[in-house]
Every structure is written in structure tokens, then in C-alpha cells.
Chains A and B, each alone.
Chain A
């Protein structure tokens, strides 16, 4: 692998809760190659969105980053002050937020919102330059120039999501974090938006972290996938490897829970519920739901280890 563009080492995020500490992200490490599409999958409450936001240091109290380092190319994000971090967001790492429906300002025109992002990052543009730049960005995400003068409510869900992508790429970031970017869209529109994201990402040479729970979407979009469960990475491997040879029982269950279009009556849920993050079981957090669990799984937390090009945190793999 070439020099990584992003390196996350031993990241731990916790939320203080009256009933106990919630460990939302627990010792997560991974690297991202330039231009790579990396997936982060798990159920709701697995900590995947928290992990994505903590990379950008966007965790608000009562949440806090307890430990760990994030490096963007040669910069250690921990060394930056809040101003430095503000400059880095969007310019270095950009976020396409979950539910972009609500992340655009309803009382500002789309063009104004992109212009704000450019101005915030100190680009000295004349009005004409800014307008040309905004039109070019909109064209890049497949939106007509007229969208610049529209308000968010005048756009469809897919168009709003494209507008969010336009904002995310306006400063040519090295990393784009897309947090369930298409969860509210219809399948046909989802495919169009993901095609747009794929193209701009390729043109920019940016790496993408796609956060989501749809294994079908992951299989079709990412190069490498990490599976998260109860705040920890339980498996990480090239996508073809995960699809053909899922090694962690949770990964297998996650793939099996995807309704098939080929055979009927093959609907399999994952038994039990995701554990409470403030009250995790001892040993492997998945063991109460795991059909294969043995004695060791109940007492000893499995570490992520290398197995034939994949990384798996399971005693039985």
C-alpha cells in the first residue's frame, strides 16, 4: 500500500451517562490509502457514526475523545488547535452528513451555502469568480446552474444530497466521509447519487469512508470494508473477501440478514438485540447472540488479528 492518506490509531470515544460510561468507540485503528473507498458497516448503535465524527473531532459533550491519534497525510490532528481543525475540515476531510435533508440551511439559497463554505475557508473570490466556481461545482455533481438560486425545499431528496456533495468537494478534500448518504432515498435515486459520488471521488483522487448498514451497497461501492460491533472493529478485509469468505459470525449474520432477491423464504434475522454500550457483556461483545460461542468467548475479549489478508476479532476464526 502506498503512503496512507489517513491513519487512525487506537481511537477511543466515550459518552458520560448518569448510568455509566458509554464506550461508543473502543480502540479502533485503520489506515486509508489515497483514492481508496473504505466502508464502515454495522447496526445502529454500533458506533460507526461516532467513529466518523470523531475523526473530524466533531464530538460534542457529554462525548469526548479519550485516546488515540488521527493523522491526515503528515499532519497529526491532535496537534491542531480549534482554528487549525476548522481549516482542516472541508479542506482536508469533508463530511457528507447523514440525512442531508436537514443539514442544509432552509433559509439560504444553495449557491449562498456553497459560497459561505468557500468564504469561510478564506478564498478571496470576487462575486463573479464565486458564481463561476459554484456553477462548476453544481455541474460536477450533475445539478443545473439554476439550483444555485434555489432554496433547499425546492429540491428533491436526491438533488439535496448532490448539493451536499458539491459542498463537500468545494475545497478538493483528500478524504470524504459519507455518513449514510443515501439512507433516505429511493433505490433508483440512490444509485444515481452513488454514481455521482463515485465519479467526483475518482476525479478528485479523494479517499471515501462510506458509513452505512446496507451490505449490498457496501458490496457494490467500497474496496475494503470494516465491520463494527459495539464500538469495536470485528472484521476488516477487501470487500470481495468479506462477501465470499466472511470470517466473523457477526459479519456472516449481517450478510444473511440482507433479504435475497434470488430465493424466497431465506429471511434470517440476527437473534437477540445489540448490547447496551454502557453495559457490555464480558469477553466478546457478540457472544450472547453468537450461535458458535464457546467458554473462551465469554471471558476473553478477542483481538483483531491477521488471517490470510483479512483482520478478524474472533477466537474461532
Chain B
């Protein structure tokens, strides 16, 4: 079975410039997304963890420093014209900022009519209108309230849903959504995420949902990939990872979410006064300096990804008794 899109031991390093050290944004990650089994994969991590780099690599917007991204088996860098065109249809992006993606001088129709024209999705103007209207309704928008308006006349939530509609016009197999709801209100967040979930369930579109918000990831995704400083910390079925996190970083991440309940268990009693941990220079686990459980083993070499149970892998030496995941085994852990 050839995957729709596959990352093969892909890494990205940004050059430092002016004699500064280069930055590792993503370390050897392998991941396969199959068109046959649509699902939502969440990629979670703090800023600087490499999640946006992963998105840009999968979209072909950034070239990997090592490894490769493959679309239906062919390296993204070596696609033929026709393959590239198919890739541009099959894989769509929705970005974080629903303000920055619009040209303020064009009506919002522009972002919808352009793909229709470019990819000849409609035979006539009337058909194009119908197609656009239908797609807008699919994301819960009324075409008459949207078309003909300028971007500034729409709310942030409407603008973001127009972007989802734009992606949908091309009937993609995969939508890479990079923080699609972090700039919209909590009340609208649920609506937009709900429409993404419906796309997967009803239209068979896979979604790579990139976010820093574990709670929304838990709500919409099937599987989850937790990144920490360019490395996978934990990956697997969302129920397992969120309900019973095994990696100390995932545990920290979940305990740091303020809960809307009466018990005041969120603010630490012994406040961590050290605001900025020193940068990792060691050869060991990238989380070691912040890890409450770190021992000498953690400083010597980076941990492998251990398959602690079916549907979960954890990069922590605590689980060294479990079998290490073979290269490229992440796709199997993440398939549902």
C-alpha cells in the first residue's frame, strides 16, 4: 500500500547565520498518512517544538535537510509536472492567521474563485457559483452572508471557515491545519473543530491538526504526536496519551492546563523561579534538564522510541524494557 504522503526520516536544520549555531527544528521523523484510512492526527507541542516545520515540510514549502517527503511514493523534490499538480490538489493547507492570508483589496470571493479557475473545477460561471455556495454551506456558512464582502467585513471565525472551504473545493485527501483555531474565540473554536471532524467522518479527508492546545487535540483527533524540541516525545492513540500520559513531558503538559473546576490544584506551591532553563547542549534526552526523573542514563544518549503497548510509543528510558520502534514504525502506532 503506497501512502498518500510519507515522511521518511525527515529532519530540518536552520542555518545560524553570522556565526551562530544552527537550530535543529525537526529530528529524524518518519510518518505515513494513508488515504484509505482517513483520520485526524494531532501534532502537539510548545512553540519551537518543530510542529510548524513539520507542516511546512509536508506541504512542500520547506526542503528537508535530511530524509525525504514522498507523495504517492515519489520524492516531493522530483515530482513531474502532473504529479505536482495532483499533489497541490490532494494536500491542502489551513493556516493560523485568518487575517494575514487575505489580500485586503480583494473580495473574499477571490480566494474561492482562484482555485476553481486554476484547477478548472467548474465548466461555467453558474456552476462555479453553485460549487462555491455548496462548499461554504458545508463549513456552516451562508453564501449570501460571505460572497461579495471584503475580508475586514467578516469575523475571524468566518474568515477561518472560508479558508477551510477553500481547501475543501479541491476535494483534498489531506488537510494540514496549522493552529487553525488559536486566533478565534473559544465559543467558535468548537464549531470550527466540529466541522473539521465532520470532514474526516463524512468525506474521508485526513487532517493533520497542528496545535499547542492538548484539550482540543483530545476532542477532535484520533491519534496524537507530542513533539518536544524537534523530537517525538510520545505518540499514539489519543485516549491513551491524554488519559494516561507516560512521557514526563506529556505529563507536564497535561498538568499545566488550567481546569474549570472548583479544586485549586493548578498553581504550584513551590514556584519554579528559574524562568529560563539553559539550552540543551548534552547528547542525551532533550527533555532531561526539565525532567524530574532524569538520571545519568538520560544524559548519555537520546532515548529510542519504545512501543510500550499497541498504539503507543514513548521516547523515555524508563520504558527501556519495551521493544524499540523500528525506523518508520511511527506510522503503525498512529494508524487507527
What residues make up the interface of A, taking CB atoms closer than 8 Å to B? 43-44, 142-143, 156-159, 162, 186-192, 194-196, 198-199, 213-221, 240, 243-244, 253-255, 257-261, 264-270, 273-274
When chains A and B are docked, how far (Å) is the Cα of A257 from the Cα of B190? 7
Q: Which residues of A contact B219 (CB under 8 A)?
A: 259-260, 264-267
Q: Does B240 contact A (CB under 8 A)?
A: no
27 sample A-B contacts, Cβ–Cβ < 8 Å, listed by A number: A142-B274, A159-B275, A186-B46, A186-B47, A187-B46, A187-B256, A188-B46, A191-B258, A195-B268, A195-B271, A198-B267, A214-B258, A215-B186, A216-B260, A220-B259, A221-B267, A243-B262, A258-B215, A259-B189, A259-B216, A259-B219, A260-B215, A264-B238, A267-B193, A267-B194, A267-B220, A269-B190
Q: Assess the B242–A261 pair: CB atoms within 8 A.
A: yes
Interface residues of B in 181-224 (CB under 8 A from A): 185-191, 193-194, 212-216, 218-220
- Which A-chain residue is minimally distant from B187 (CB atoms)? A270
Total of A-B residue pairs, C-beta within 8 Å: 135
Q: Assess the B272–A192 pair: CB atoms within 8 A.
A: yes
- Which B-chain residue is minimally distant from A244 (CB atoms)? B262
Name the contact of A261 in the complex, choosing from B215, B252, B271, B272 (C-beta under 8 A): B215
What residues make up the interface of B, taking CB atoms closer than 8 Å to A? 46-47, 155-157, 185-191, 193-194, 212-216, 218-220, 238-239, 242, 252-254, 256-262, 264-268, 271-276
Min CB gap A247→B, angstroms: 16
Q: Assess the A254–B187 pair: CB atoms within 8 A.
A: yes
Min CB gap A156→B, angstroms: 6
Q: Which residues of A contact B238 (CB under 8 A)?
A: 264
Min CB gap A264→B, angstroms: 6
Q: Which residues of B contact A196 (CB under 8 A)?
A: 271
Residue of B156, B185, B268, B271 most packed against chain A (CB within 10 A) = B185
Q: Which residues of B contact A217 (CB under 8 A)?
A: 258
Q: Which residues of A contact B252 (CB under 8 A)?
A: 188
Q: Assess the B258–A259 pair: CB atoms within 8 A.
A: no
Name 11 extra pairs, CB < 8 A, besides A264-B219, A267-B220.
A158-B276, A162-B275, A186-B46, A218-B260, A220-B267, A261-B218, A261-B242, A267-B194, A269-B190, A269-B194, A270-B187
- Which A-chain residue is minimally distant from B259 (CB atoms)? A216
Q: Assess the A261–B259 pair: CB atoms within 8 A.
A: yes
Q: Which residues of B contact A191 (CB under 8 A)?
A: 256, 258, 266-268
Q: Assess the A219–B261 pair: CB atoms within 8 A.
A: yes
Q: Which residues of B contact A218 (CB under 8 A)?
A: 260
When chains A and B are docked, how far (Å) is the Cα of A15 from the Cα of B266? 38
- Which B-chain residue is minimally distant from A289 (CB atoms)? B187
Q: Assess the B194–A143 pair: CB atoms within 8 A.
A: no
Q: Assess the B185–A219 pair: CB atoms within 8 A.
A: no
Min CB gap A155→B, angstroms: 8
Q: Check A269/B187 contact, CB under 8 A, given A162-B275, A219-B259, A220-B264.
A: yes
Min CB gap B102→A, angstroms: 18
Q: Assess the A214–B253 pair: CB atoms within 8 A.
A: no
Name the contact of B187 in the complex, choosing from A43, A142, A221, A240 (C-beta under 8 A): A43
Q: Assess the B275–A192 pair: CB atoms within 8 A.
A: yes
Residue of B242, B256, B258, B276 most packed against chain A (CB within 10 A) = B258
Q: Which residues of B contact A142 (CB under 8 A)?
A: 271-275
Residue of A44, A156, A192, A259 most packed against chain B (CB within 10 A) = A259
Q: Assess the A214–B186 pair: CB atoms within 8 A.
A: yes
Q: Assess the B271–A159 pair: CB atoms within 8 A.
A: no
When chains A and B are docked, how far (Å) is the Cα of A306 from the Cα of B191? 33
Q: Which residues of B contact A240 (CB under 8 A)?
A: 262
Name the contact of A219 in the complex, choosing from B220, B258, B276 (C-beta under 8 A): B258
Q: Assess the A254–B259 pair: CB atoms within 8 A.
A: no
Name the contact of B257 in the complex, choosing from A216, A221, A266, A274 (C-beta under 8 A): A216
Name the contact of B275 in the complex, choosing from A143, A220, A266 (C-beta under 8 A): A143
- Which B-chain residue is minimally distant from A250 (CB atoms)? B187
When chains A and B are docked, how far (Å) is the Cα of A214 from the Cα of B219? 17
- Which B-chain residue is minimally distant from A44 (CB atoms)? B185
When chains A and B are docked, how far (Å) is the Cα of A186 from the Cα of B275? 13
Residue of A44, A143, A213, A255 most packed against chain B (CB within 10 A) = A44
When chains A and B are docked, how far (Å) is the Cα of A196 from the Cα of B268? 10
When chains A and B are docked, how far (Å) is the Cα of A258 from the Cα of B259? 9
Q: Which residues of B contact A264 (CB under 8 A)?
A: 218-219, 238-239
Q: Which residues of A contact B264 (CB under 8 A)?
A: 220
- Which A-chain residue is minimally distant from B257 (CB atoms)? A187
Q: Assess the A267–B271 pair: CB atoms within 8 A.
A: no
Q: Which residues of A contact B193 (CB under 8 A)?
A: 267
Q: Assess the A254–B274 pair: CB atoms within 8 A.
A: no
When chains A and B are docked, how far (Å) is the Cα of A274 from the Cα of B187? 10
Q: Which residues of B contact A194 (CB under 8 A)?
A: 267
Q: Assess the A219–B218 pair: CB atoms within 8 A.
A: no
When chains A and B are docked, how far (Å) is the Cα of A178 from the Cα of B272? 21
Q: Check A43/B185 contact, CB under 8 A, given A220-B259, A240-B262.
A: yes
Min CB gap A235→B, angstroms: 15
Q: Which residues of B contact A190 (CB under 8 A)?
A: 256, 258
- Which A-chain residue is minimally distant from B216 (CB atoms)? A259
When chains A and B are docked, how far (Å) is the Cα of A2 from the Cα of B258? 30
Name the contact of A273 in the complex, choosing from B157, B189, B275 (C-beta under 8 A): B157
Q: Check A269/B189 contact, CB under 8 A, given A186-B47, A261-B218.
A: yes
